[in-house]
Chains A and B, each alone.
Chain A
């Protein structure tokens, strides 16, 4: 009996959490009938993919997807490189100034990022790289979350492995590349997934720093199209589904990395 009540609660909440998605999906799959009506038209017929064809052919959605793929791919790769480099000495090397550097990095967590929005816009304007993909990803490459996450991973590697390699005559670069990096792959995967979601979903910074709407990533582009084609709800619904599906698929396949990443980021 208790179990039934628990499942009822679980299902009710699941409906609450997923309803907007299901409704948008429904809107996108129908071509006729009013979108807004009382009572709402919840019967899914006739179903059609016409809106998907429409949004793909008449709106610059493919371009936005290519922009997103490019920004996300470069952004994630560079984040992984920069964070895996920075975290290594903080975890495994002894050098003067280590504590200072470490606390300076921690201190950035206290700094309010909204000031960054204003000044980074000015900086990138002065550097004349506004309106490029580089200006979109540059400010978020040195992820503090990433540095911490990878530092924890490096710290958990046993010292004996490193010592053995040193006895065999391996230098620091070889040790980092051949021994350390392969051993922190799970943490790298976690970071990659978090950055993927962050870049794929980002819209605020792109709309500030990109002047040409043709260069918008998908999330920003979708918002832009909603503004232009407010009347064409069904096309926008199809675009919304297209923007959401990849992220949900990635999430469903990589759930355990998500849960690990959040709790690693939360309480250390």
Chain B
């Protein structure tokens, strides 16, 4: 190798790291460091004002006998019920819009609008919809599905499911686009061949379309499961965990401990537990789809 060659290599390396520096710096401070420091912080008591005090694993011991922790864990786990509903719904939606029809693009756009709407707006709108005298009670009463109005957002057992319904409503369009991409990568011949062989539409859907969509279903289900375990925004904008902690989830508890109570150490311990659960799914996701799959959009 001659001198100008190695000079060029040094220059290229320099330029490469110069280009990378701002992003790497930000990632180091705001992404890598928090994971390390957050894990260490779970061994301390810290309220930002006073210096941290080492308490060993006592935060984790406290957690085991903490009633609210178990309530939050149970609610977060229950929230995963929303995953199969969203996935099946969005697959059917994708099949429905995966055709050449006049105006189909407008329908796809309409289904996507909830996705791009902010959670505060969604929360405000659905709180009105769910009101005791709101439109949902009116419709259900007109259909004679219920005798008297239900207070959807202050009901000890139904509220969690009412919020899940909103999660589904907002998420359907996003997963629809994923599955639409999947469907468009499937050659039409497979389904046509099955139809020619006399299979019913339902059979074609279950025996041809769904198996071909498998990688997409796996990916979307993993992402959806992780999102469900971390559920926060919809809870925060509608009930903040109430009534009587019936919609209190892990992330809601972490938020309260960290930013209402300033118990940074205990919040970190909670966060570490949630992270450990999510990491399992994240690693599967990462191993199956080498690039790590989806962001939160």
Q: How many residues of B contact A (CB 8 A)?
A: 105
Interface hub of B23, B182, B278 (most chain A Cβ within 10 A)? B23
Q: How far is the CA of A3 from the CA of B210 in the complex (A)?
A: 23
Count, A-B residue pairs, CB within 8 A? 292
Nearest chain B CB to A123 CB, angstrom units: 7
Of the 9-residue stretches B8-16, B80-88, B155-163, B191-199, which lies at the interface with chain A? B8-16
Q: Does A263 contact B (CB under 8 A)?
A: yes
Q: Which residues of B contact A158 (CB under 8 A)?
A: none
When the two chains form their complex, are residues A266 and B181 in contact, meaning their CB atoms are under 8 A apart?
yes
Q: How many residues of A contact B (CB 8 A)?
A: 100
Q: How far is the CA of A257 from the CA of B7 in the complex (A)?
A: 41
When the two chains form their complex, are residues A38 and B138 in contact, meaning their CB atoms are under 8 A apart?
yes
Q: Which residues of B contact A172 (CB under 8 A)?
A: 11-12, 15
Q: Which residues of A contact B142 (CB under 8 A)?
A: 39
Q: Does A47 contact B (CB under 8 A)?
A: no
Q: Does B48 contact A (CB under 8 A)?
A: yes
Q: Which residues of A contact B33 (CB under 8 A)?
A: 119, 123
A1-32 interface code vs B (CB 8 A; 1 in, 0 out): 00100110110011011101101100100000
Q: Does B57 contact A (CB under 8 A)?
A: no
**Residues from 133 to 151 in A contacting B, C-beta threshold 8 Å:** 138-139, 141-145, 147-148
Q: Which residues of A contact B114 (CB under 8 A)?
A: 17
Nearest chain A CB to B159 CB, angstrom units: 18
Q: How far is the CA of A122 from the CA of B294 in the complex (A)?
A: 28
Nearest chain B CB to A235 CB, angstrom units: 12
When the two chains form their complex, are residues B297 and A40 in contact, meaning their CB atoms are under 8 A apart?
no
When the two chains form their complex, are residues B19 and A85 in contact, meaning their CB atoms are under 8 A apart?
yes
Q: Which residues of B contact A184 (CB under 8 A)?
A: none
Q: How far is the CA of A240 from the CA of B119 in the complex (A)?
A: 11
When the two chains form their complex, are residues A116 and B118 in contact, meaning their CB atoms are under 8 A apart?
no
Answer whether A116 and B34 are a contact pair too, CB < 8 Å, given A85-B19, A222-B120. Answer: yes
Q: Which residues of A contact B135 (CB under 8 A)?
A: 23, 40
When the two chains form their complex, are residues A122 and B31 in contact, meaning their CB atoms are under 8 A apart?
no
Interface hub of A86, A148, A173 (most chain B Cβ within 10 A)? A86
Q: Which residues of A contact B219 (CB under 8 A)?
A: 266-267
Interface hub of A96, A112, A173 (most chain B Cβ within 10 A)? A112
When the two chains form their complex, are residues B120 and A263 in contact, meaning their CB atoms are under 8 A apart?
no
Binding site secondary structure of chain A: helix
When the two chains form their complex, are residues B20 and A89 in contact, meaning their CB atoms are under 8 A apart?
yes
B107-122 interface code vs A (CB 8 A; 1 in, 0 out): 1011111101111111
Nearest chain A residue, comparing its CB with the CB of B106:
A14
Q: Does B279 contact A (CB under 8 A)?
A: yes
When the two chains form their complex, are residues B20 and A123 in contact, meaning their CB atoms are under 8 A apart?
no
Q: How far is the CA of A110 from the CA of B258 in the complex (A)?
A: 22
Q: Does B74 contact A (CB under 8 A)?
A: no
Q: How far is the CA of A259 from the CA of B285 in the complex (A)?
A: 22
When the two chains form their complex, are residues A13 and B93 in contact, meaning their CB atoms are under 8 A apart?
yes
Answer whether A14 and B111 are a contact pair too, CB < 8 Å, given A98-B16, A118-B254, A208-B259. Answer: yes
When the two chains form their complex, are residues A265 and B113 in contact, meaning their CB atoms are under 8 A apart?
no
Q: How far is the CA of A194 from the CA of B297 in the complex (A)?
A: 8
Q: Which residues of B contact A16 (CB under 8 A)?
A: 169
**Residues from 262 to 288 in B contacting A, C-beta threshold 8 Å:** 264, 267-268, 271-272, 274-275, 278-279, 282-283, 285-286
Q: Which residues of B contact A123 (CB under 8 A)?
A: 29-30, 33-34
**Residues from 66 to 88 in B contacting A, C-beta threshold 8 Å:** none
Q: Does B291 contact A (CB under 8 A)?
A: yes
Q: Does B137 contact A (CB under 8 A)?
A: yes
Q: List 10 A-B contacts (CB under 8 A).
A: A10-B107, A17-B113, A17-B114, A39-B138, A88-B19, A101-B24, A118-B41, A122-B264, A139-B30, A265-B295
Instruction: Return the 9 tightest CB-CB contacts between A and B, nearest first.
Output: A119-B34, A86-B23, A109-B292, A201-B118, A36-B133, A89-B16, A115-B38, A142-B26, A112-B275
**Chain A residues with a Cβ under 8 A of chain B:** 3, 6-7, 9-10, 13-14, 16-18, 20-21, 23-24, 27, 35-40, 81-83, 85-86, 88-90, 93-96, 98, 101, 104-106, 108-123, 125, 138-139, 141-145, 147-148, 172-173, 176, 194, 197-198, 200-204, 208, 219-220, 222-223, 226, 233, 236, 240, 243-244, 247-248, 251-252, 255, 258-259, 261-263, 265-268
